[in-house]
Structure formats: C-alpha cells, structure tokens
Amino acid sequence: MTAQNSTAAAPRTIHNARHAIASGEIKAVALAESYYATIAAGDANIHAWLALSRERALQQAARIDQMVASGAPLPLLAGAPIGIKDVLTMQGAPATAGSKILEGYLPPYDATAVARLEAAGAVLLGKLNCDEFAMGSSNENSAYGPVHNPRALDRVPGGSSGGSAAAVAANMAVATLGTDTGGSIRQPASFCGVVGLLPTYGRVSRYGLIAFASSLDRVGPFTHTVEDAAILLGVLAGHDAMDATTSLEPVPDYAAALAQPVKGLRIGIPEEYFAEGLDAEVRAAIEKAADALRAAGCTLHKVSLPHTRYAIPTYYVLATAEASANLARFDGVRYGLRAADATSLSSMYRKTRDAGFGKEVKRRILLGTYVLSAGYYDAYYRKAQQVRTLLTRDFLHAYTQVDALLTPTAPTPAFKLGEKTDDPLSMYLADIYTVTANLAGICGISVPCGNSKEGLPIGAQILGKHFDEATVLRIARAVEQAQ
C-alpha cells in the first residue's frame, strides 16, 4: 500500500476537526484512534514517527470528549491530532533529536510550544523523525533512518524537519511542529507540498527545544492550509518567562487578519533569488504565483538583496560555531548514551561522543570549534557576524520599498534519496534561499504553488518584516487560493 492509498480522503484541518468534534460528528478519541490507524498502516513506508505518545493523547482526547458532553466551551485546537519534531521535549516521551547520543533520554518537562498546544486542546500524537540535531536538508542524517517523501517514496522529504512535513502530507497528523534554523520548516514543507511557517525570532518560545544554533533556531507549524498556520501561530506566539529572547510584542489575531484583502500590497522580487541554479519548473511556478498576486491587486517590484551570495558561508560559520558550543553538554554525564568501555573521565567523554554523534554532527562540531578558536575567531566568526548585519540591512532596506518578498523556497523540487549524501557542499547549497531569513531574524512561509511535470510539489516562499507574520499569511493565502 502506498501512502497515497492510505490517505485518499480530503485532509482534515484544525478548523474542521474542531467543528466535527463540537457538532458530535466524531468523538475526539475516535479521531485520535483514526490517526493512529493511518500511522500504523502507512508509516512503515515513510518512517516519519520515532515514538508515539498514545496514552497521553487518548487521555487528552477523552478530556475533550467530556467537555463536549458537558457543554463546556471548546478550546481553539480541541481534539486536533498534532505531532512534534523530536528536538522538542514532551514530558515522558523519549527525545532523541534524531541522535544516538540521546537514546534513552526521557525529558522531565514539556517545551513551552508543546505545553501551549496541549493547553489549547491539541491531542499530541508523538515525536517525529528529523536530521540529527536538526542538521541537514534531507532527513538522511537521522540516526534512526531517513524519512521518505509521501509524494514520491524514492525522494527525500527535505530536512531537517522531514518527519514533520511528511506526517502532514500523508495525513498522519492534522498539523505538526518543526524547527527552522536555516530552512528546516520551509524547505521540507515545499518538498512535501504542505504549508510551513517560520515565525520571527523571539515570536515563539524556544524553551524545551534541544538547541542547534540558538541565535537562529525557531519553532513553527506545518499545516495543510494557511488558515491553520495562522491559528497555530496564534496559540504558539507570545512572551515566555522561560525564554528571555521571546518578545513582549503583542500577538495579533492572525486568523482574523486573513480576511483582509491583499489588494495594494507591494511585493518585492529579489533578483539574486532568480539567478543560475534555479530549476526552470520552479521558476515558472513562482512566476505563476506572482501573476496570481498581481491579479489579486498586489503590485510587484524588482528589489536587490546584494549580499545574498555571502549567506551560505556566513550561515555555515555561525550555525556551526553555535552548535559546537551547544553540543558540548552531550558528554555521557547527564543525558542518554554513555560509553560502557571507558577507563577514565576523558575517555568516557571521547568514547561517548565518538559513538553517539553521526558524521554530519561531528563535521559541524569540528568546523564550529575551528572558527571559534584563537587566531581564527576574528577571521571567521567575527567576520561572519559583520556580514550577518549586512544581510539584515539588505532586508531592512528592501522593506522600505515593499511590504514582503516572493521567492522560491528551494532551488529544485525534492531530490532522490542518496543523491547528495556524498557531497555535503551541494547539500549546503540547497539552503540558498532560506538561510537569509534566519540570519536576519525575519519571518517567512512556504506555501504550495504547483507541481513539477513529475508531480513533485513546488513551494513559494514569502518573507516578511520582523513581527509581520500577518502580512506574510495574507499573501500566502492569496497564493493558496490561486491553486
């Protein structure tokens, strides 16, 4: 059985799940069970799930059913079955971050994003596969095996949140959480044909997120529709005393903002994002999305982000530097794996880290340690910080001329499993359109905008100003409606 066969029904959204539960059409427990049945039937081919949290999910679903029975008002996400990327903690469920080094680790607390979903009525189905410590663009770096793209099983789902994107695409969850440090929500959303939202840095709490690069990491949703992304962002966003980088900026009603027409909005087309290396079918699909926005009353403008060509090297200096520091805590003392055959403390550290980390993670720890080391810090790390400021200014300047930007999410549709695994540089280059938003701290979204001739999904990326998710969502909705 292919994924498509097991998921032939129209996808259920947060909106209609709540409606079906409120009207008594389906019980929340039955809905949760139906998702577990879909997972049992389809996940052998896809491998999106690393752990299921059945008991917790069914308890929560029963709670929702009791609320319906007693006539209590239903929370916004009542009964919505949602999956969580395995870099976020859920009390009592294993958290591996896709790594052997965290095998057996049971976090004693919920991430804020996870707790907020559950407090809003969501039914948390379990934990989703991802690249090890969220380092990758294809999910092939997971220590627990790759995820297959539900739209074409011989293709990657994208990464690092590949399980999160695939689970939504295969109707194994109504929505999921992912994280995006350099594209890990938007690129897999584009490869799997779903919506993926990158909130502004500071909009959603990172408390309980197993850190990769703390100045770049964001938590955000994968959904079937732009409306569901707006609903989830409303639940997730806002200040959290447990994450000092969260903003006090008020949280607007994102779902209500979708009702405002896009007429009159100025959309920038950054010329650097349409240069060589862009697949012709992707280019054509983005041009069609631009036409749809023009037809909806937007005006389109050429803009320039002149430092774009420095984005990949800047990202791979800063992200690896931060990763080398963040990953120092995994040494066999407090969490997960500990090498059994160590003879001293330092051999325990060495053997644990050697056995526990995969190849890509080791490569990044080495790179990150190198760029931070005495004598190289000024040449690499400090220089990259300076270029980061230039990249941010590029966006701020563009946003004096336009309200948002339209670009491809990725230069190609989903590539084949194994196609880039021997060439880390070509894998890094696939992040070319996404890493800039993380470096600049701005928000963005990937929304499906067509398929290649082979039937592979293509995503359009809309990038917005800091804390202007509402405009990004409105534009994405206009692209969605034109499909």
User: Which residue number, 98 or 356, has a Cβ lying nearer to ligand GLN?
Assistant: 98
Smaller CB distance to ligand GLN: residue 134 or 195?
134
- Residues near ligand GLN (CB under 6 A): 134-137, 160, 180-184, 212, 319, 431
Closest approach, Cβ 2 to ligand GLN, in A, equals: 27
Angle among Cα 259, 480, 9 to the nearest 5 degrees reads 110
On whether the CB atoms of residues 471 and 403 are closer than 8 A, the answer is yes
Is 85 a catalytic site residue?
Answer: yes
Report in angstroms how near the CB of residue 6 gets to ligand GLN at its nearest: 29
Report, in Å, the least distance between residue 346 CB and ligand GLN.
29
Cα–Cα distance measured from residue 156 to residue 159, given in angstroms and rounded to the nearest whole number? 8
Tell me the sheet residues that pair with 463: 405, 444
Minimum CB separation from ligand GLN for residue 425, in Å? Answer: 12
Alpha carbon distance 29, 336 (integer Å): 33
Whole-number Å distance between alpha carbons of 324 and 393 = 27
- 6, 138, 142, 160: the active-site residue: 160
Least distance to ligand GLN, CB of residue 362, Å: 14
- What residue has token string 């009592």? 92
Of 134 and 167, the one with the shorter C-beta distance to ligand GLN is 134
Catalytic one of 164, 184, 190, 205: 184
What is each CA distance from 336 to 53, 95, 352, 396, 439, in whole angstroms? 19, 10, 10, 43, 31
By C-beta, is 139 or 352 nearer to ligand GLN? 139
CA pair distance 197, 444, nearest whole angstrom: 6
Which residue, 146 or 234, is less far from ligand GLN as judged by CB?
A: 146
**Catalytic: 160?**
yes
Torsion sign, CA atoms 7, 9, 15, 16: negative
Catalytic residue among 85, 127, 351, 420: 85
Residues paired with residue 13 on neighbouring β-strands, in sequence order: none
Q: Which of 258, 312 has the CB closer to ligand GLN?
A: 312
Interior/surface letters 79-93, b for 16+ CB within 10 angstroms, e for the rest: bbbbbbbbbbbbbeb
Q: Tell me how far, at minimum, the Cβ of 236 lies from ligand GLN, in Å.
A: 17
How far, in Å, CA of 174 to CA of 11, rounded? 8
User: Catalytic: 351?
Assistant: no
Q: Which positions are annotated as active-site residues?
A: 85, 160, 184
